[in-house]
């Protein structure tokens, strides 16, 4: 079996992408952020206090003839940006792009942090990390991908995220029409539940490629690209007026500055991120100061290959044994 669904940017700077997901019987459609950096599937629900719901669609288990309370189970998650949510759990039928799982753990939010309340076009998250990261207790639950695995034609899902445009997520097959050339695969370690792999190096603009192993996680749920300070300072050295602002919490520069491209390596392959992806956003609607799509990972303890990098490629998340990740041009 296979599935294919849209990945729709939720605002004009691609802060996140949402995908239509149906839950329950009759189907209730929610727009979820498919997040390879976490492994909980949680939704705004009829159990979420109305003061914390602002325009989101909600899942109402009472209106689903196939919903079952997972008695005595709770969950609580905190993300790297400080946002979080917690609640209870139901099992229900869930489908993405025609691919159905009969008994998916759907984590119903009883509390969400303000950054979720403020994102009215995001109705929850579908974690696509390894199920070891799932926070449901006393027994942890499987991701949609892990539940769907037995019925998939191929044990893969792919991400084709796009700059200021709608892309797609496919499950169970690698669509030859979505990429050119060959897919460059590299090893993944499941530690501690992320899609962790290495880059083979990087280049700033037309500069020489620096061969150096950079370990990190490919995370569709993170907006920007976070790399070591040495790499990031080398990049912004090429940007007129760039500075690492304590006030804005990262590298900013005059919006009129011309930015170099950024190239990363996957084994022998090279992927170039256009300068436009790294000229991420104005720090406020009328400002002439812009915030960079490439930032330092020094405070994080891990490098994060977020959407700014992933949207420069067609990415294959392969759940084979051992797992691997593949990047292709598009």
Least distance to ligand D9Y from the beta carbon of 240, Å?
A: 26
Is 92 in the active site?
no
Name the DSSP class of 275: H
8 Å CB contact between 148 and 99: yes
- Residues 8-37 close enough to bind ligand D9Y by CB under 6 A: 15-16, 33, 35
CA quadruple 297, 263, 184, 133: dihedral, nearest 10 = 20
The C-alpha angle with vertex 83 and arms to 79 and 88, in degrees rounded to 5, equals: 85
Distance CA 134, CA 198 (A): 24
Residue among 35, 40, 92, 307 flagged as catalytic: 35
- Residues 303-322 close enough to bind ligand D9Y by CB under 6 A: 304
In sequence order, what are the beta bridge partners of 245?
250
Between 104 and 296, CB nearer to ligand D9Y: 296
Of 73-81, 257-265, 281-289, 308-316, the segment contacting ligand D9Y by CB under 6 A is 73-81
Least distance to ligand D9Y from the beta carbon of 44, Å?
A: 12
Name the DSSP class of 309: H
Selected from 97, 201, 216, 221, the binder of ligand D9Y by CB under 6 A is 221
8 Å CB contact between 19 and 5: yes
* 122 binds ligand D9Y per the rule CB under 6 A: yes
Indicate the residue whose CB is closest to ligand D9Y: 80
In sequence order, what are the beta bridge partners of 168?
6, 160
Distance CA 67, CA 103 (A): 9
* 84 binds ligand D9Y per the rule CB under 6 A: no
Least distance to ligand D9Y from the beta carbon of 187, Å?
A: 22
Of 54-62, 106-114, 220-228, 274-282, the segment contacting ligand D9Y by CB under 6 A is 220-228
Least distance to ligand D9Y from the beta carbon of 219, Å?
A: 7
* 133 binds ligand D9Y per the rule CB under 6 A: no
* 115 binds ligand D9Y per the rule CB under 6 A: yes
Phi, psi (deg, nearest 5) at residue 145: -65, -45
Distance CA 19, CA 123 (A): 10
Helix or strand run (H / E) with residue 213: strand 210-218
Is 57 in the active site?
no
CB atoms within 10 A of CB 133: 18
What 3-state class would DSSP assign to 168? strand
* 125 binds ligand D9Y per the rule CB under 6 A: yes
Least distance to ligand D9Y from the beta carbon of 132, Å?
A: 18
Between 33 and 92, CB nearer to ligand D9Y: 33
Helix or strand run (H / E) with residue 230: helix 229-236
* 300 binds ligand D9Y per the rule CB under 6 A: yes
The residues annotated as belonging to the active site are: 35, 219
Residues that bind ligand D9Y (CB under 6 A): 15-16, 33, 35, 79-81, 83, 115, 119, 122, 125, 221-222, 226, 300, 304
């Amino acid at each position: 079996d296979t599935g294919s669904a849209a990945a729709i940017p939720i605002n004009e700077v691609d802060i996140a992408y949402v995908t239509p997901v149906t839950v329950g019987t009759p189907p209730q459609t929610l727009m979820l952020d498919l997040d390879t950096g976490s492994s909980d599937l949680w939704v705004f629900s009829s159990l979420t206090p109305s003061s914390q719901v602002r325009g989101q669609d909600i899942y109402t288990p009472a209106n689903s003839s196939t919903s079952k309370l997972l008695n005595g189970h709770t969950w609580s998650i905190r993300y790297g940006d400080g946002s979080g949510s917690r609640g209870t759990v139901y099992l229900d039928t869930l489908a993405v792009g025609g691919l159905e799982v009969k008994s998916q753990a759907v984590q119903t939010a009883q509390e969400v942090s303000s950054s979720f309340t403020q994102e009215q076009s995001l109705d929850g998250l579908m974690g696509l990390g390894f199920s070891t990261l799932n926070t449901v207790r006393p027994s942890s639950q499987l991701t949609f991908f892990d539940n769907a695995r037995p019925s998939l034609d191929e044990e893969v899902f792919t991400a084709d995220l796009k700059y200021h445009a709608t892309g797609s997520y496919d499950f169970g097959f690698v669509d030859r029409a979505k990429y050119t050339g060959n897919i460059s695969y590299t090893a993944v370690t499941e530690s501690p539940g992320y899609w962790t792999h290495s880059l083979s190096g990087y280049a700033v603009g037309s500069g020489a490629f620096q061969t150096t192993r950079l370990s990190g996680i490919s995370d569709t749920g993170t907006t920007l690209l976070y790399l070591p300070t040495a790499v990031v300072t080398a990049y912004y050295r090429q940007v007129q007026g760039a500075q690492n602002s304590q006030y804005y919490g990262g590298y900013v520069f005059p919006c009129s500055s011309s930015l170099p491209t950024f190239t990363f390596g996957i084994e022998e392959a090279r992927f170039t991120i256009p300068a436009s992806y790294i000229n991420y956003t104005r720090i406020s609607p009328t400002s002439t100061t812009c915030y960079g799509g490439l930032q330092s990972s020094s405070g994080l303890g891990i490098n994060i290959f977020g959407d700014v990098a992933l949207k420069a490629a067609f990415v294959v998340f392969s759940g084979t044994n051992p797992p691997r990740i593949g990047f292709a041009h598009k």
